[in-house]
Amino acid sequence: MLSIIIFFVCCIGLGLLVTPPLKESKDFLERWVMRVGMGLGIFVVLLLVLNLFQIPLHYITVLFVAAIGFFLWKWKGKDYPFKINKIYSVLILVLFFGSLFMYASGAFAYPWLEDDDPWSHIVGVKYISEEHTAFRSVGLTEKIAYYMDPYPPGYDAVLGVLAQVPDTSLLWTMKFFNALFCSLGILFCYYFSKSFFKSKNKAMYGAIALVMIPCYLSHFIWAHSLIVTLFFPTLYCLTKIKDGKAWIIPSIIMIMSLFMVQPEQSVKFGLFFLMPYIIISFFSNEKNHAKKMFIAGVISTIMAFGLWYLGAFLRHGIMPVLKRFGLTSGAYGIAGSADRAYSFTDYFIANPSNMINNPIGFGWGISILLVIGLLFYMAFWKKVKIKSYRVIILVWFIICFLAVNSWTYINLYPFRVWMLLAIPVSLIIGDLVDSIIRISKGNKYHHYIAMLVLIIILFISGGYVKYQINTMPWSAGQGVYSQGHMDGILFLKSLPMNTKVFPVDFSAAQYVIGMDKESCEWCPEVLSLRDGFNNKSSDEIFIALKNLDYEYVFFDQTYVQHYGINQSKLMLAKFDRLEYQTVFNEQGAIVLKILGVES
C-alpha cells in the first residue's frame, strides 16, 4: 500500500513541475489525472538523468524532486474553480477500476511470473533496486537480464525504485504496477480523446471500445505495458500545444520518456502517430501547431539520444543497441517470436485461446462498428476532410493495419502492432457512435443509453473473451521444464522474503529472485565463486557458500539442460554431505538447506 501512495505522490509532484505555465483543463479530474500522466513520463526521464550523473536511483530522491513540484504549484500554480462532470467522471473511473480489477486479478491468479520476459525483467528490477544504478555491471549478463543496458531501462528503473519501499515484495511490485500501468492508459486515453475530438461523448465511446477490445494490452509484464500507456499523455500534450506554446516543454519530456522505455515502439510512435499528425495538421490550416509539434519531436529525439543512446553506443558498440531496436533480428523480413499472416477470422472472432503477451482480434461487435465507421468516412469524405482529426485517425488506422499485416512483405513485428491498432480503431468507433446520435438529434439521455448498449454489445462480442484471457492462469514459460521444476520454484516462495538462496545454475537466478529471494549474481564475491564452479571441490563450494551467508542451495533442471545428466550427477555428489539437509526433492528441482547458517 505504501508503495502505491509513493507512486502517485511522485507522479503528481513531478507532473506539477511543468504545470505552472500551462493552460490546463478546467475539469478537476482531467487536470489531476493528466498531471499523473505527465508525471509518469517525467518519472522515467528523471531516473535516466539521475543515472547519467551517477546520482543513486532511490525513491527518496524522487520524492524530494516531487516535493519541489508541490512547492512550485503552491507558489506559482493557477487557481481553478472546482468543476467536474460527475456522470462522465464516475463512468471513466468505473472503466479504470474495472480494468485494474481484471488485470490485477489475472496477475495474481498464480504465484509465478508468466512466460519468459518477466523473469528477465525482475532481475533488472532487482539490480536497480539494490545497486541504485541502471548501468549494467560486468557480472549481469544478458542471460538473466536482457532488458538492461544497452536496452533503455525506464520500465525496470521505475519498478526498481518502487521496490525499494520497505517491506515491499519485488514480485508483488512487478505484478501490481504493471497492471496499474495498463489500466491508467484507459484514463489517459479518455482525456486525450476528449482534447483531440473536443467532445467528451466521442472520447467516452472510444474509451469503452478500448477497454473491451481484446488486442489492447494484456497484463503480461514487459515494457510495452508502460510505453503504450505513455502514448496517451504524450499525444495529449501534443494536442494541447494548440492552447499555448508552453505545452511544448511537457511534449518534449513525454516523447523522451518513450525512448527511455522501449526502443521499437518509440520509433513506431514517431512513424505511425507523430509524423502523420504533423503532416496532416500542416496541410489542414494548422501550420503553427504542426511546426511546434515538429520542434518538440526533433528536440526530444536529440535529447533522448544524448541521454541514453549515445552512451549505450559508446559502452556496448553499435550492433547491441541496434538489436534492441529490432534492426538486426526479428524485423524487416525476419519473423519475430509470434508473427504470422492474419485472416478475417483473427479480426472478427475474439478467441479465448489467444496469445498472452499481445492478444489479437477485435471481436464481431468492434469489427462491425469499425466497418460502418470506415464506410461513413468514405461516404462523407468531403465532410471528413473538413475535420482534420478524422483524416488523422484514418491515416493512423491505415498505417497500423498495414503494419499488422506486414508479415508477408516487410515484417515490423506485426503481433506487437495489434495493441497500437486498437487505438485508432477505438477512436473511429467513438467518432462513429457519437455522430450517429448527433445526426439523429439525440440528447444527453440518448448518449447515456448508447453508452450502456455499447458496453453490453462489446462485452458480449469481445470484452468477455478479453476478461477470460487476462484472468486465466498463464504458463511460467519455456524455461520451466516440468511440474516438478515448477514445484521447486514455488517452494522457494514459501521461504522468508530475501532469504539467501544459491542457484547452482547461473540462469536459475531469475527464479530465485522472482520468488523474492536473494542472490547477488553481479557481486564480485559471487562471480569469483562462479568462476570455474564446476571444477571446484565440495569443500571449496561449502566454505564459499557459508562465507557468503547463503542459507539454501537451489539445484534445478536448468543445470541438467545446460550440462547434461553425467555432469549433473557429479555436481549433486558435491552436495551429498552432512552440512546440507534436503528440504525439497522432486524430479526437476532439489532445495538444500545449509546447516549451521542462521536463517
Chain segment 68-88, per-residue pLDDT in tens: 999 999 998 787 888 999 999
- With 50 as the cut, is the pLDDT of residue 541 above it? yes
CB-based contacts of 584, cutoff 8 Å, min separation 6: 487, 488, 491, 590, 591
In a domain, 340, yes or no: yes
Given pLDDT bands bounded at 50, 70 and 90, which one contains residue 331? very low
The per-residue pLDDT for 39 is: 98
Among 448, 471, 494, the domain boundary falls at 471
- Alpha-carbon distance of 556 to 559, in angstroms, equals 6
Residue 332: per-residue pLDDT? 44
- Inside any domain, residue 199: yes
Mean pLDDT of the chain: 92
When pLDDT is averaged across residues 255-263 and rounded to a whole number, the result is: 96
Residue range 387-437, pLDDT digits in tens: 788 999 999 999 999 999 877 566 667 888 999 999 999 999 999 999 999
* Closest among 317, 420, 310, 148 to 412, alpha carbons compared: 420
User: Does residue 526 sit in the same domain as residue 421?
Assistant: no
Which pLDDT score, from 0 to 100, does residue 316 have?
A: 83
Domain match, 463 and 370 both: yes
pLDDT, residue 37, reads 98
Are both 429 and 503 inside the same structural domain?
Answer: no
Lowest-confidence segment of 143-152, 229-238, 270-279, 338-347 by average pLDDT:
338-347
CA-based R_g, the chain, Å: 25
How much is the pLDDT for 335?
45
Nearest-angstrom CA–CA distance, 35 and 33? 5
Same domain, 467 and 488: no
Residue 598 has pLDDT above 80, yes or no: no
Let me know if residue 478 belongs to a domain: no
> What local confidence, expressed as pLDDT, does residue 315 receive?
87
**Per-residue pLDDT for 333 more than 60?**
no
Domain presence at residue 599: no
- The 10 Å CB-count burial string (b at 16+, else e) for 325-357 is bbbeebbeeeebeebeebeeebbbbbbeebbbb
Same domain, 17 and 106: yes
**pLDDT range class, residue 257, cuts 50, 70, 90:** very high
249 plus 173 within the same structural domain:
yes
Torsion region of 588: left, alpha or beta (phi above 0 gives left; psi -120 to 50 gives alpha): left
Q: Is residue 415 included in any domain, yes or no?
A: yes
* Domain region containing 170: 2-79+92-471
Q: Which residue has the cell 508473427?
A: 339
Q: How confident is residue 145, by pLDDT bands cut at 50, 70 and 90? A: confident
Length, in residues, of the chain: 599
Q: How many percent of the chain have pLDDT more than 70?
A: 95
Residue 338 has pLDDT above 70, yes or no: no
End-of-domain residue from the set 407, 438, 471: 471
Residue 41 neighbours by CB under 8 Å, 6+ apart: 230, 233, 234, 250, 253, 254, 256, 257, 258
Asked whether residue 378 is domain-assigned, the answer is yes
Asked which of 471, 505, 522 is the last residue of a domain, the reply is 471
Q: Are 399 and 542 members of one domain?
A: no
Regarding whether 489 and 467 lie in a shared domain, the answer is no
pLDDT tens figures, 265-294: 999 999 999 999 999 998 888 899 999 999
Residue indicated by cell numbers 489500466: 183
Helix extents (H) in 78-116: 86-107
| Same-domain pairing of 9 and 132 | yes
**CA torsion angle for 280, 283, 286, 292 (degrees, to 10)?**
70
Average pLDDT over residues 31-36: 98
For helices 248-261 and 28-52, angle between their N-to-C axes, nearest 10 degrees: 60
pLDDT top residue among 355 and 540: 540
**With 70 as the cut, is the pLDDT of residue 306 above it?**
yes
pTM, rounded to two decimals: 0.95
- Per mean pLDDT, which range of 4-8, 242-246, 433-437, 438-442 is the poorest? 438-442
* Residue 476 located in a structural domain: no
Question: Are residues 571 and 435 part of one domain?
Answer: no
121 and 67, same structural domain? yes
Task: Report how far residue 55's alpha carbon sits from residue 518's, in angstroms, rounded to the nearest whole number.
Answer: 24
18, part of any domain: yes
The pLDDT score that the predictor gives to residue 115 is: 83
Q: What pLDDT, on the 0 to 100 scale, is given for residue 538?
A: 95
Are residues 340 and 488 located together in one domain of the fold? no
Residue identified by cell 525499494 is 164
481-503 burial: b if 16+ Cβ within 10 Å, else e: eeebbbebbbbbbebeeebbbbb
Helix ranges restricted to H, 154-247: 154-162, 170-197, 200-212, 224-240
Confidence of residue 599 (pLDDT cuts 50, 70, 90): low
Q: How many domains does the chain have?
A: 2
